Structure 1
Amino acid sequence: MFKSNHPIYADLSSDLRDVQVDWNVAVLRSFEYPLNVSAVAVEPITGLLAVGTATGTIHIFGGPSVETRLLIPEPGKVKFLQFSSSTFQIVCLDERSQLHIFDLSPIGRPRLAASAKFDNANSLTLSPSHSHAFIATESGEIRTYDLQCLRRSEYRMPNLWQLYEEKTMANRMEKPNIASRIPVDTAIHPRDLNLLFVAYSGGVILSDLTQRNTLRAYEFVLPAGAPGGPGYGHPDIMTHRRPDVTAIAIHPAGHFFAVGYSDGCIAFWAIEDEDQPLLVRTLDDTDVNVMNMEELEKPRDAPPPDREPIYKLAWSSFSDSSDPRGGHTALTTLGGLLMTNDEPTGLNVHWLPPFNPTEPPAPAVNPGLHPFMRSAMQASLVPLSDLFYETPGIPQDFFLMPRSNPHFAGHFDPNAILISIEVAGGARVLEAFQFPPPAFLASSTTVAAEVEESQSVVDDLASTLRAMTVDNDPHSLRLPLPLSFPGTGISGAHLCTLEREAHDILVSDKTDPFGFPLKGGVAWSDDSKAREMRLAKFQKPRILITQHRNLASAVQFHDASAQLLIVSDTTPIENHFPQPLPSLTIDLKALLTDAAAVKRTSPSFHQQAEVQSVYLATQALECAVQLASGEVIVFRLKSDERPMSHTETVDEELVHLGHIFTPENSRFAPYFLLTTGKPVSACAISDIGFLAVAYSEALVVVDMRGPRVIFRYGRDKKRHSLIHSHDFGITCLTWSVTTLENDPQLRVRLIVGHSSGTSEILTLVRQEDSTWKVDPETKRAEAVASPLPGGTFIVDPKVGAPVVATREQLSQSFHPAPPDTHRILVTAGAKGARCLADVTGSRISRVEWGSKVGTVQTVQIVEKMGSHSLVAFTDAHEVLAFSLPQLEHLGTMQLPVRDASMVTVDTTGDWMACTLNRESGVVEHASYGTLFDFRRAYTPPDIEFKKPVVPAQPQPAALGPASLLSSWFRFGQSMTGDQLDILLGGPDRPIPKPALAPAPAPAPSASSPSTASSIAQSAAGVQSSLYARLQSAVGERGQMLGDLEDRFNSLEEGSRSMVAQAKRLAATQGTKSWFGL
């Protein structure tokens, strides 16, 4: 009926028409970002980190691509998590008091070796020197579990504090509190495996495991008038108080220890003196167990604020001394802060002097701790320096990462600290920092530094400013991405394909000076995908760009290229996937305090400083960061040129940022800021130096060579408009070099998509002085209503590829275009899509999405083997595919994801789907997939963990110099780990099976034919496996019998208790009747 004026176009989707054959939607990799961390464990010998969550998942991280997830049998909170270095296991105690042991030796992933049930477990304690776990139960009993034999051990310890209270009942002023008998924690003496500290709510017991008795009992009583933790003015200050024990930490020398209490006090006790603590202090005061009459009598208007309990203590030593007693120590404290609104949140660290006393000048007159040694201990408790690790949220726990030694409760020579923080939405995430703080090391080691004279004023200023930015505060460390992303508040991610040259520039610097020290395990690629691996080198390089709420790491870049996974058959994977590129991280914090930026921006620039979108010019490698407040900041890679001084711009919308200094290891530098005080509705950056930003009612075009504004429009500005006012607002901007229907010359064009359905085409013209301006004459095209962001494309009808504004296209625009040069405008909106001939010509095709498909979220033109198709992703997790240029519906495919909040797709058909947590708004799950899963090698690797070689157990250190024979422990001889296993395991402990050597790394099946020896090995393996299963069954039977014995014993005790109560009741009734009551 209607005659078409445009030529007949070739089918650009010829090889994509069969949805069942040509398409294959699949998830290549899934990423979990835990937002509910509940437990952490470190293995310093090999360098592993494990994280337990509130949902019963255990994540293990190590070296390159070493990541694996474990699930406990019944979903529930992981309360305690520890590595058992001696048995090569990871041990978990969940909220149901179920103990789960995972074997780390199998290649592929760890397996669940055994589980055991305990009654109301309160703590879990392991040692790298033996294979037994101590479990403190709420009844006060200490149970043991044999990790090597995978069974409960016969050794158990009664409630020692209850026995102590019963023994001292006659000397007590008040009736014992039942709650004081609940155990809080257990701690193994760092230099004597035979000694075990048991911290009960009422006090601390030092027990001898061999003799099964109590050596010392440390009970803290605040006398009347002493301020304690609450301070003077507390209503109960004139009474004797017994604060509950909440934490314990032992000095690495092993002669004294610290105990935290519920009132915020820390008491330091000498092991040989249970009568009087060495020192009692809070975080900001000392001797709080001594009354000061002047302070007590001072009038006060209001009682002092409450103080937090001491939640956790860790006492660290370092390899900075040859003295066997050690050198400087660091006491890390969680809790103890005043509970006021203006009090910051974080951790305190005290840097303490070494405990290296000389020999006493005279022998002690009385038995016990020598006064000279007592004074030396007290002197070693006076901090040399303090530091506060301030956190963005309330800290819940902390964990130290030793360099290589697992002894001393995992606190020896740490080089990093992990802090569990509660953030918005109730999420619990991890942040890592340097440890000890550099300020502590600087105070103990003086380093002379000479500053060279600057050759110019600019160089001198630059060096001065850099020196001012360097401080001794601990630097944050980059955790593995699944842990780092929740900590920095990841809010979005998208993939970006690059040409090889641009990709090489971005990944040229992979140094990571602040990476978290993990190196454990190796990852082996799947041998069945060896052929696909070889094809991965032909794929386009990709970059993953993520945006974060933490302004110090607001935009991050990661290499997501398939080439990272290419390895030989005998070589483990050498890269993480994706591979972080920390030198490209964009820090926005410096901008918020820059005087020039503050002067020219609105208050919302600071109040709403959150990244909303990120745009990367994939050839020029310039990056535009759009903030929620409406500002757009342009960054570009640093050059060798000297930094610019601050210069004022003619354009009121622009603020130069070239004067802002960035760290040496940061490659992106701020260039300029564009602000109009309005929210951004669309943004587009080109590879040829132009930036366009729309504000719904306004449009600004910037030539970034200046930078300078070459076009502006806004209703509030009384200026001539090239834009038709009735076409606003603007929802899509696209840069291209294209011809038009009545303009056959290639020119730089900006396609402005309006919500009304009209597309406005602005043409940029280069003038004689090499500057650019916008041609006053504009063109119009009838496109689609409410065009989607990124939903407008200029397509070459010969090849089907989108034509963008690149340097090559700009160069061609300076020459006459061939006569057969044509372009197609493809626009997609909320309700459908259209194709127009020669951009402003007649309509080629049109399609409506329909109401049944849901809401279209994003569109893209994807390419496979030279064929192109328009794909639309909906909120129903469906993918609609259409041919080009006729927009025929090729088919609908289901996206294999659930609850995806946002989906982005690149030109190759690879997509990234992110799921946001509803409470926090942070991404908690991401899926990396493709529309064309053909010969793609992204299967998770097989993980192999290397068994650690545990160093020798530290031996007891003399209290004084080695010549002082009387300064050794008087409690008895220490024992080895094997001796302790024999003691705890009991006489019927089965002989532990020797550990089987781990299987060799997987090898290609083509190069390993079956032989007689391999068959024999297989048969032996089956026999060994059968024997292991039988042994396991016998062990489980013994464990069940043990459970039954425990239940019968409990029933017997209950029966006796009932009989005793009945006798007491009968006696009471008899007495009442005798006296006539």
Structure 2
Amino acid sequence: MSWLKSAVGRSKAAGHDRLPPLNSRLGDWTGDFRDVNKYAEGFLDQLTLPGEISAMAYEPGMGYLAVGTSAGTVHLFGSPCVRMALTLRPALRVKHILFKSDTYLMICIDEKDNLNVYDLSRRDPHAAAMHGARRAAPGQTQMTNSDAPMRIGIHSARNVVLCAEVTSIHSMLFLGLTDGSVEAYDLERFCGTQYRIPNLWWNEEEILRRSQVPNAPSRLHTPLIIDIQTHPRDPGILLLCYEGGAVIYSIRQSTAIHVFQLRLLPGAPGPVPSAPLEEVWSERLCPATAISWSPCGTMFVMGHENGALSFWHIAEEDKPLMVRTLDDIDIDRPVLPEQLPKTSAGPREPIFKLTWSSFPEQGWYEYGAQAAGSWAGSGTAQANTSANHGSAQNGTVLTVMGGTPVDQPATSLHTFHFPPTPAASFFSASASDASARARTALRDSLQPTYVGAYRTASIVEDFCLLPRLSPHFGGTHDPYAILVLVGQDASLPSLAVQSTRRGMDVFSFPPLQGPHSYERLSLPLPLAFSGRGTILGCHMATVPVMQYRRLVQQAPNHPLGTIKYDQPMGGVAKPQVQNAKLMHAQALAQKGQPRILITWHLDGRVRLHDVSPHLLLLGEEDSRRGVVLVDPFPTQLSHLTLHVRDHVLHPSMFGMPALDTLQRFPMQIQIDHVQVAWDSLECVVSLTTGHALHYALGSGTVINTTTSPLVDAMHQMRMDDSPADHVTEFTSLEPLANHESSGFQPNTLMSLLPGSPTCSALSDVGLYACAYGGMLVVADCRSHDIVVRAGSGNADFFSRQLGSREAKIIEHESSSEIVWQRFSVCRTVSDSILALRLLVGRANGFVTVWSFERGSLESWMGFRSDAMSLGMSGRPVYVDVVGSSGAVASATEHNMQRAELDQAREGVTNNTHDFYLLLAVYPHEARLYDQVTGQRFAQADWPDPALSACIIERQNARMLAVIASNSVFILSLPRLDTVHRVQRHVPPDQEVVAATPRISLERQGDFIEITSGQQLRLWTVFGSLPHGEMPSMFLYTPRSLPLPPGAGASGYIASVASWLGSSAGQSLSAGAQIDTIICGKRRAKLPPLPPRMTLSKDNENTPIASSITEQGAGAKDAPTNSTQTSASGSWLGSYQRQFLNFASSSARAQAQLNMQLLHKRDEILSDLDESMTNLERGAKDFFKQTRNSALKAAAKDKIKTYL
């Protein structure tokens, strides 16, 4: 094999002179970064949800999605850049989340039945005062967002809260308690009320007991209340769902109007017609589990424990309109025994949740578009109209959760598309058969025109509709998407982590007819990291600018982060610059280098995210708001996602020997590690089974090009005695590649090792090295060739022919396993020729250097060229080769060209300016070695075990950062002197870290951490230097809400008439009437609240301390008079201050102010009426007392005359 050493090993035989001493060759690479004031820990963001998802709700007025967790946190998601986390006090599991859209309130109920009411239009003054400077001092972390909404109400329920109901029409929050009663909480005065609805099902159960009905509940049984829903067109009517049935309750009359209970008569097949005859021929009670109003308000549907759905007319409580299951109808009609079906789907699971959605009427624009489409002979406009309105002819959609047979997986949601509800003329006709005609029409409207289904990967546990704008109809009017909460996927590997228990999917709504009835929409990043998307590992790296442009050039034009890009969501995010001014944001963005975050997940996917600094600094200029951020941080690069699990289980790959085990046991498909070559944009995904998949970026990347017949023959040549039917080492994945896509395309699957690799390394020239124990395999991913196979005992042919020195190296290698590998283009002590090297380190500290040469046939050849002992044992934290300036000597194509030129040069020359050092960082110490395999010349140690380390490059200075669990150690290069020690902090509101976290540190000084709960946190080492931090959030961005159902011009006329009338106690609206009935005349006074926030353009010449100013701040410098001064403490003074801001606002804001004044006048007149009533009562009492005194005096005088 002497021909192989002709170029690379030429210097070994030449016996060249050693380089001059290090003192004459090395300088100080750290420079000005020896200043300790430059270093401070900074907590930037948490990218995952703590705990599991426990509650969710959507607010359509401003467009906010709220998600509660078991850790007591509530996460708000708005526009792509708006994301905020709130922590309840105390931090208990969130049970319910509700929104009141007209007053911008968010109500959170925890597992201890504590109510927390937040006002999204007001900023928390305590958080603003504590964190007004936007960040804490160096060395201290800031965990509370200064833009958090204000908590304006707290309340503790007297019993366990089972359900809650709130509407935008009145100010009451109804709480259904575990004793079956309903209480009301005042959301305008933020206090409890004396109003209570008793358990209305007590009387129904007592009737059953007195009637001696079989299986009647015991007197010790307490009927639970399951749900409360307000009538869609009359806020004074409530539909209460109990265990036994439903009750329609009138708030105005304070009585139950109708009671509904489903009883299956003897002979009715019911949901299980194949049940025993004794059960079928007996009367059966069907407990209720869910309810939902029809949008018209004349009907409602009730779900039952046996999987049945019963539809009722609100005026007919004796007989339902229809009783059905998901598959059969009229299951309540008795039939003869011989007509009963012999087989059925079996028992069904209960109906867990129901929603009945409506859609807006067709407007002139939609009608014209549909007509134009029909004239043009194209169905595009008609299809779009149907897609927007969901159901032909403006019908309704009933969404059902549950009701599937128990022996089938409950991995779907069913939707019933109904025709339009009959007009009101059916119910107002005076004919004798009007009632029968109306019942028939209502029954016909319950015949579905189409039944759709949403298929999920795991069991559906909850869902939430996302309306476009309207908060009325219980949040079910005109939804554009449906958010589905799913359980743990049994087909995936099991992890003992809370985040895997529940995940989320979001789909377009409603589903349409056809093969592609719905589309999967995008989720905000923290929600995508839950459930199936639980993170298994991550890596953050700085990317060259040219490669970064290739990665992001095909990204979607609309920013991902919202549910649907054409549906606006609430909030505005403005950039924040720490330790600098906003005017410096452009310069800071130009100095920063692009970064990419790679995450691999439980569902077998690898996702790439843009975490570049400019995302937090640059945005779009707005004339009124200033600079507004557009792209979220991080930004999802969905076009670069690697679907590893789908590629392995693709039908076209069935029958491949290498994939047989994975296809038979798909639960074994779990990603162990991902490596990316950023210069060549190639990726290798390693599985825990030992398989490795190679990907390359599309759009111009040529992989596995056509080779000559001689190369093919060499690849097929076998040099061992293994049988011919063994598993193929390379399995081509080219049939799965989409060459038109610009994302990563699958190239090959490699089966190189018998198990999961202990370590691996990827170069930018196509070579991939992996090790299993003492076995080493180096493969060429581009030509599908094995370059080196060592340590296996039967294929180390090249090394056996290189002499006694190589034999001693092999003997040392066999005594320990391989624990690290590193590709580099460098020189060594014994070989001064620049060449591609692979450094292979073992647990006993022994290092073998492999050298590689690229032949004329585009194939690689490698051999052992050197070896050394580091003098340290164990697994290192970080190993790399650096050049004479401190730059990392990576194995890129550019460095390979330099190496080929150096190898072609005649003679051996010692270059004192081109030498290389080996840096090895172990848990407690770091060492530097001269010329890679030379003598150790620098060493440093520290007390805490290191978790990660990296060479940091800032402003042409380089230093070594070592991160431990409690400290960050900064060491100078190349002397390894200790520069500074930074104390680390753990967020106090997060879970206790029980296991050692995994940390990925990149060369700009930021690092990402994965804790034992799979929590992903982003930190920085340079918290005291100017940098972009998390943006300032402005949550109060209201939109004009539609009027409540039934409200129109008559409602406004009545309001104005009551305002101008002489009656002081007359209410302004139906909602005010409900408030008066529930709270009475002794209602508490309005609490003093700070004014709502307004958004103003920042002054770019001042530090960006607060971009949010409160209402009335603009009038601070305006001329004032004595009237303003005297009224400053009253509501009139606050009105005068608000008027200056509202003068330039929209008409909607002016209308809101007018309505506030109307309500205030109503309150004043009510107080005046109460005062007059008290005065009248006092006058009457005075008159009675005076009359009695006069009668007594007259009686005494009369008696004296007789004496």
TM range (shorter): 0.7 to 0.9
How big is the shift at 1:705?
3.7
**In structure 2, distance between residues paired with 1:853 and 1:173:** 73
* Correspondence 1:250 to 2:293: yes
Q: Deviations over 1:483-536 (max 9, x none)?
A: 111131112222111122222222223326985136211123347742563442
1:285 to 313, 323, 328: 328
Which residue of the partner structure matches residue 512 of structure 2?
Answer: 441
Q: Secondary structure at the match of 1:601?
A: helix
Closer/same/farther in 2, CA of residues 1025 and 19 from structure 1, 3 Å limit: farther
Q: Which amino acid aligns with 1:793?
A: D
**In structure 2, distance between residues paired with 1:643 and 1:1029:** 74
Q: Deviations over 1:140-178 (max 9, x none)?
A: 333323322323345543433345666898767466655
* Correspondence 1:135 to 2:175: yes
Unaligned runs of 5+ in 2: 1-17, 124-146, 364-388, 489-493, 718-727, 800-808, 903-908, 987-991, 1049-1067, 1136-1159, 1164-1203
Q: Deviations over 1:20-40 (max 9, x none)?
A: 435323323334414322211
Q: Secondary structure at the match of 1:524?
A: strand
Residues 426-435 or 309-318, more deviating: 426-435
* Correspondence 1:768 to 2:856: yes
- The answer to whether the Cα contact below 8 Å between 1:86 and 1:130 also exists between their aligned partners in 2 is no
Q: Which amino acid aligns with 2:819?
A: T
| Matched ranges for 1:42-441 at <5 A | 42-107=58-123, 108-120=147-159, 121-153=161-193, 155-162=195-202, 173=213, 179=221, 181-233=223-275, 236-294=279-337, 306-319=347-360, 327-340=394-407, 343-356=409-422, 370-423=435-488, 425=496, 427=499, 428-436=501-509, 440-441=511-512
Which residue of the partner structure matches residue 585 of structure 1?
Answer: 641
% identical equivalent positions: 26
| Matched ranges for 1:759-908 at <5 A | 759-769=847-857, 771-783=858-870, 785=872, 788=875, 791-797=878-884, 799-816=885-902, 819-820=911-912, 821-829=914-922, 832-847=925-940, 852-854=943-945, 856-874=946-964, 876-897=965-986, 899=993, 901-908=997-1004
* Correspondence 1:675 to 2:751: yes
How big is the shift at 1:809?
1.7
**In structure 1, distance between residues paired with 2:739 and 2:464:** 28
Equivalent pairs, count: 971
**In structure 2, distance between residues paired with 1:97 and 1:987:** 28
1:954 to 1016, 1023, 1045: 1045
**In structure 2, distance between residues paired with 1:1029 and 1:154:** 33
| Matched ranges for 1:372-771 at <5 A | 372-423=437-488, 425=496, 427=499, 428-436=501-509, 440-442=511-513, 471-472=515-516, 474-487=518-531, 488-511=533-556, 516-517=563-564, 519-526=569-576, 529-531=580-582, 533-537=585-589, 538-551=591-604, 553-567=605-619, 570-594=626-650, 595-596=652-653, 598-601=656-659, 603-604=661-662, 606-639=666-699, 650=716, 652-662=728-738, 667-676=743-752, 677-715=754-792, 717-722=794-799, 724=810, 726-727=812-813, 729-769=817-857, 771=858
How big is the shift at 1:16?
7.0
- The answer to whether the Cα contact below 8 Å between 1:180 and 1:201 also exists between their aligned partners in 2 is no
Closer/same/farther in 2, CA of residues 401 and 585 from structure 1, 3 Å limit: same
Closer/same/farther in 2, CA of residues 362 and 985 from structure 1, 3 Å limit: closer
Closer/same/farther in 2, CA of residues 714 and 131 from structure 1, 3 Å limit: same
Q: Which amino acid aligns with 2:675?
A: Y
Which residue of the partner structure matches residue 1056 of structure 1?
Answer: none
**In structure 2, distance between residues paired with 1:1029 and 1:117:** 34
Q: Secondary structure at the match of 1:214?
A: strand
How big is the shift at 1:294?
3.5
Q: Secondary structure at the match of 1:533?
A: helix
Q: Which amino acid aligns with 2:404?
A: L
**In structure 1, distance between residues paired with 2:414 and 2:1072:** 38
**In structure 2, distance between residues paired with 1:645 and 1:17:** 48
* Structure number, greater radius of gyration: 2
Q: Deviations over 1:656-690 (max 9, x none)?
A: 21220459777221122211243212222222333
How big is the shift at 1:911?
0.9
- The answer to whether the Cα contact below 8 Å between 1:269 and 1:278 also exists between their aligned partners in 2 is yes
How big is the shift at 1:295?
6.3
**In structure 1, distance between residues paired with 2:32 and 2:282:** 84
Which residue of the partner structure matches residue 1025 of structure 2?
Answer: 934
How big is the shift at 1:236?
4.2
* Correspondence 1:1014 to 2:1116: yes
Closer/same/farther in 2, CA of residues 274 and 931 from structure 1, 3 Å limit: same
**In structure 2, distance between residues paired with 1:990 and 1:785:** 75
Closer/same/farther in 2, CA of residues 1024 and 398 from structure 1, 3 Å limit: farther
**In structure 1, distance between residues paired with 2:853 and 2:924:** 34
- The answer to whether the Cα contact below 8 Å between 1:192 and 1:956 also exists between their aligned partners in 2 is no
Q: Which amino acid aligns with 1:7?
A: L
Closer/same/farther in 2, CA of residues 550 and 784 from structure 1, 3 Å limit: farther
How big is the shift at 1:762?
1.8
Closer/same/farther in 2, CA of residues 736 and 1012 from structure 1, 3 Å limit: closer
- The answer to whether the Cα contact below 8 Å between 1:396 and 1:421 also exists between their aligned partners in 2 is yes
Q: Which amino acid aligns with 1:433?
A: V
How big is the shift at 1:721?
5.0
For the aligned residue pairs, the C-alpha RMSD in angstroms reads: 4.1
2:1081 to 967, 987, 1000: 987
Query: What TM-score do the two structures reach when normalised by structure 1?
Result: 0.82
How big is the shift at 1:744?
2.7
How big is the shift at 1:949?
2.3
**In structure 2, distance between residues paired with 1:995 and 1:371:** 57
Closer/same/farther in 2, CA of residues 761 and 560 from structure 1, 3 Å limit: same
Q: Secondary structure at the match of 2:506?
A: strand
- The answer to whether the Cα contact below 8 Å between 1:318 and 1:326 also exists between their aligned partners in 2 is no
- The answer to whether the Cα contact below 8 Å between 1:699 and 1:713 also exists between their aligned partners in 2 is yes
Q: Secondary structure at the match of 1:815?
A: helix
- The answer to whether the Cα contact below 8 Å between 1:192 and 1:975 also exists between their aligned partners in 2 is no
1:943 to 1034, 1043, 1066: 1034
- The answer to whether the Cα contact below 8 Å between 1:655 and 1:672 also exists between their aligned partners in 2 is yes
- The answer to whether the Cα contact below 8 Å between 2:263 and 2:285 also exists between their aligned partners in 1 is yes
Q: Deviations over 1:950-975 (max 9, x none)?
A: 20112399xxxxxxxxxxxxxxxx97
Closer/same/farther in 2, CA of residues 726 and 222 from structure 1, 3 Å limit: farther
**In structure 2, distance between residues paired with 1:388 and 1:802:** 54
- The answer to whether the Cα contact below 8 Å between 2:778 and 2:789 also exists between their aligned partners in 1 is yes
**In structure 2, distance between residues paired with 1:381 and 1:696:** 67
How big is the shift at 1:583?
1.4
How big is the shift at 1:256?
1.6
Q: Secondary structure at the match of 2:414?
A: strand
**In structure 2, distance between residues paired with 1:416 and 1:1025:** 46
Which residue of the partner structure matches residue 39 of structure 1?
Answer: 55
Q: Secondary structure at the match of 2:201?
A: helix
Closer/same/farther in 2, CA of residues 501 and 1021 from structure 1, 3 Å limit: farther
How big is the shift at 1:626?
1.3
Unaligned runs of 5+ in 1: 444-470, 918-922, 958-973, 1039-1077
Closer/same/farther in 2, CA of residues 19 and 737 from structure 1, 3 Å limit: same
**In structure 2, distance between residues paired with 1:653 and 1:949:** 63
Closer/same/farther in 2, CA of residues 763 and 1023 from structure 1, 3 Å limit: farther
How big is the shift at 1:823?
1.0
Q: Deviations over 1:252-284 (max 9, x none)?
A: 222221101122221111223211112212233
Closer/same/farther in 2, CA of residues 717 and 979 from structure 1, 3 Å limit: farther
